Structure 1
Amino acid sequence: MSKKRHFETEAIQATEPHGDETGSVANAIYPSTTFRREDDGSFASGFIYSRKHNPNRKLLENALAKIEGGHCAFAFASGMAAINTVLQSLKAGNHVIVPDDAYYELRRTLAELFANWHLSHTQVDMTDTAAIKSALQPNTRLIWIESPSNPLLKVTDIRQVAAIAHENNALCVVDNTWCTPVLQRPLELGADAVMYSTTKYFGGHSDSLSGALVINSNAPKEFVDNLANIQNLSGAVPSAFDCWLITRGIKTMKLRIMQQVHNANKLAAFLQQHPKVKTVHFPDLPSHPQHQLAKTQMPQGSGAMLSIQIGETQQQAMAVIARLHLFTRATSLGGVESLVEHRRSVEGKASLTPVNLIRISVGIEHIDDLIDDWMHALS
């Protein structure tokens, strides 16, 4: 078949078991940490030790590359392990440009860990290309994009920023955790690599901690080789069981995400018209500053994450959260259950997040019930 397959089909085909003599339709789990050598010392299976390679991880990495349209992929024990691997691939004295609104652990990692490696960074508004260009330094080697951003949901023009990076001998890596390849495909927009906390929408059930990097075919070979070496030597790889869970999650990912996107749009529209809600941050709303870019870059929807600002104080925002019954107060996103949290109290004293901001991860429950829950909480 020469016709390009749709995502739903590829997600099933890329995660099917191959070469299993039992005829099993479901994938097996291979928990073994080591693999038998032949009489001549060779490894007929190609597997040596699970830190280096494992059948479940191989299947997952191949599936990730396939559904993303990438050259190869690397699986990790968490999204932070994937982020750290990219940063470790750089050299002392290099400079990194990151969003001013981004996952707070990324900012902490750069400030608290990689400053010791003499890796400098500048935070900029990624919606302002002039600001990005002015932040460039002769030693800039990476522009990190998070779009939509966390937690204000700013949208970055990935194609434009990737071009700026490449014109200045820098890599462009995109944190696409909130959208997945279902909604946004950064490699097709010119990014060298895409990063995921696969804990979130890939797994989809809040029961597996893992991360991934998927690499573009035209990414520099030195970069790819460095990632492979760091993955092996650092050992921050997922277990066979976690790989199995994420591989299983890929099969239903689009079904889950499209239901979540539908629910998020309905909930955002309701919250925007409510008199007690000051602001709704959600790119699919026409009022969003980058709405047109979002429609172009994420034509099937900008995801199932939104944030709102309500009241003036942390106490007022948290009082609303306390009155919700169907939204679990927990830190994460992407699972089938709806979650809610006061973001600043999670991030701590160094947080730049507004004190009255509430972050919402919308699940697959019936939307009428979710809206009723918010109606009660706001009454």
Structure 2
Amino acid sequence: MKKNSLAPETLAAQALRHIDEATGSVVPPMLATSTFARDENYDLREGYIYSRYAGPTTTHAEEIIAALEGSDDSLLFNSGMSASVAVVEALPPQAHVVAQGMMYHVGLQWLDRQAARGVISLDHFPAGDLDALADQIQPGKTKLVWIETPANGDWSITDIAAAAELAHAAGAILMVDSTAAPPCTQKPLDLGADISFHSATKYMGGHSDFTAGVLSARTDLHIWDEIRNVRSFQGTILPAFEAWLLIRSLRTLHIRYAACSSNAMAFAKHFAAHRDIETVLYPGLPTHPSHHVAANQMHNGFGGMMSILINGKDNRAFEMAKKTELFIPATSLGGVESLIEHRRTVAGPDSGIPDNLLRISIGIEHIDDLIADFEQALGATAHLG
């Protein structure tokens, strides 16, 4: 059977039908080396020269992701932030960038820092607000529009196809941070985006045991070669061991994401009308303001990420984050284990995130146990209600 005729689930599970020719191993080998010997004619073997540029294990992981994204090429980095930095570094000097006002807080802080240093000029718009986005784009001047959907914090949704039209009409490129919606459910490039970005630490990695970032694009994108150059100069390519772990993780991406999505939907429905809950922010609920947009561009579940606003005194949510027994109080998302985070404490008082918001990453544990744990944490803080 030809690879291009196989379903994405099959390609991922079999790592692009890879069997090691030397040993017959059904698990792709890890080839960890810093340099590569030339052949008897002093030619490069398979094009590899030094691992700061590329290596076979990292290339294999990139090929799997490119197949899932429907891209010409994917580039792996040692963190999501190093991937983000490479895109902005590849822009012309003092380029104008438009980005959401609510997104991954470290990425937002870094963009603000670059603007303060005069490296770029920067304007923000409220996540999901296309009219506000249109107002901030400057035709002929804006070089990059950066959206994140679902948006980290309140999980608001931006219409990718509509944002792409706005960006392209002004001569800008659109980068979509799709970390919370991996390619098993959302494909930004198919919707008109120029770059699909993921913190591969999260759903792609899924086991909380390494950090990685990835960019996917068409190779005719005018800054793509420069992004690759930036990665080489900075030495931020994903090393072989982490790439091997990522290959392992991608083989179960579809079933992990489906399990997280199923659990999250049941969890969100249970607490949506709870007396101690102000609101549940989850794109999968019909009550979500942009549920219809999410349903149009997320085709295999809405993921495990949600935010829950708790009724009661300002410190109740903070205290709840300390009372859970199964939910782990840690910063990240998309792993097999469920996490809870008092987001304002982590993102800071200037983030605009309310005190009563808890960010939840639902994992693959039994849903009854997760619901019971959150219920007991609500009960343990009932005196603050």
- SS for the counterpart of 2:201 is coil
> 4+ runs of 1 displaced by more than 4 Å?
none
Report the counterpart of residue 347 of structure 2 in structure 1. 347
1:41 is displaced (CA, Å) by 2.4
**Cα deviations across residues 237-291 of structure 1 (Å, max 9, x unaligned)?**
1111000000110000110110000000011111111111111110111111001
1:26 is displaced (CA, Å) by 0.9
Instruction: State the alpha-carbon separation in 1 of the partners of residues 248 and 29 from structure 2.
Output: 11
Report the counterpart of residue 91 of structure 1 in structure 2. 92
- SS for the counterpart of 2:143 is strand
Instruction: State the alpha-carbon separation in 2 of the partners of residues 352 and 14 from structure 1.
Output: 41
Report the counterpart of residue 148 of structure 1 in structure 2. 150
Match status 1:12 vs 2:19: no
Matched ranges for 1:1-379 at <5 A = 1=1, 4-17=5-18, 20-137=21-138, 138-216=140-218, 219-220=220-221, 222-311=222-311, 313-379=313-379
1:12 is displaced (CA, Å) by 2.6
1:365 is displaced (CA, Å) by 0.3
1:295 is displaced (CA, Å) by 1.2
My pick for the range that moved more, 44-53 or 6-15, is 6-15
My pick for the range that moved more, 261-270 or 295-304, is 295-304
1:149 is displaced (CA, Å) by 0.3
- SS for the counterpart of 1:173 is strand
1:301 is displaced (CA, Å) by 1.9
Unaligned runs of 5+ in 2: 380-385
Normalised to the residue count of structure 2, the TM-score between the two structures is 0.94
My pick for the range that moved more, 1-10 or 337-346, is 1-10
Question: Aligned Cα RMSD in Å?
Answer: 1.6
CA contact (8 A) 2:77 2:231 kept: yes
**Cα deviations across residues 165-207 of structure 1 (Å, max 9, x unaligned)?**
1111000010011010011111110000100111111111100
CA contact (8 A) 1:260 1:363 kept: yes
Instruction: State the alpha-carbon separation in 1 of the partners of residues 192 and 17 from structure 2.
Output: 29
Instruction: State the alpha-carbon separation in 1 of the partners of residues 16 and 111 from structure 2.
Output: 35
1:321 is displaced (CA, Å) by 1.8
- SS for the counterpart of 2:171 is coil
Instruction: State the alpha-carbon separation in 2 of the partners of residues 86 and 316 from structure 1.
Output: 40
CA contact (8 A) 2:114 2:120 kept: no
CA contact (8 A) 1:14 1:62 kept: no
Instruction: State the alpha-carbon separation in 2 of the partners of residues 120 and 312 from structure 1.
Output: 41
Unaligned runs of 5+ in 1: none
CA contact (8 A) 1:75 1:238 kept: yes
CA contact (8 A) 2:72 2:218 kept: yes
Instruction: State the alpha-carbon separation in 1 of the partners of residues 228 and 198 from structure 2.
Output: 16
1:113 is displaced (CA, Å) by 3.3
**Cα deviations across residues 55-111 of structure 1 (Å, max 9, x unaligned)?**
101101111111111010000000001111111111122111111211111111111
- Summarize the Cα distance change of 1:314–1:233 in structure 2 as closer, same or farther, 3 Å threshold: farther
1:298 is displaced (CA, Å) by 1.1
1:117 is displaced (CA, Å) by 4.4
Normalised to the residue count of structure 1, the TM-score between the two structures is 0.96
1:31 is displaced (CA, Å) by 1.4
Instruction: State the alpha-carbon separation in 2 of the partners of residues 140 and 77 from structure 1.
Output: 28
CA contact (8 A) 1:102 1:151 kept: yes
Instruction: State the alpha-carbon separation in 2 of the partners of residues 178 and 6 from structure 1.
Output: 22
Matched AA of 2:330: A
1:5 is displaced (CA, Å) by 2.4
1:328 is displaced (CA, Å) by 0.4
CA contact (8 A) 1:78 1:210 kept: yes
CA contact (8 A) 2:344 2:357 kept: yes
CA contact (8 A) 1:310 1:316 kept: yes
Matched AA of 1:337: E
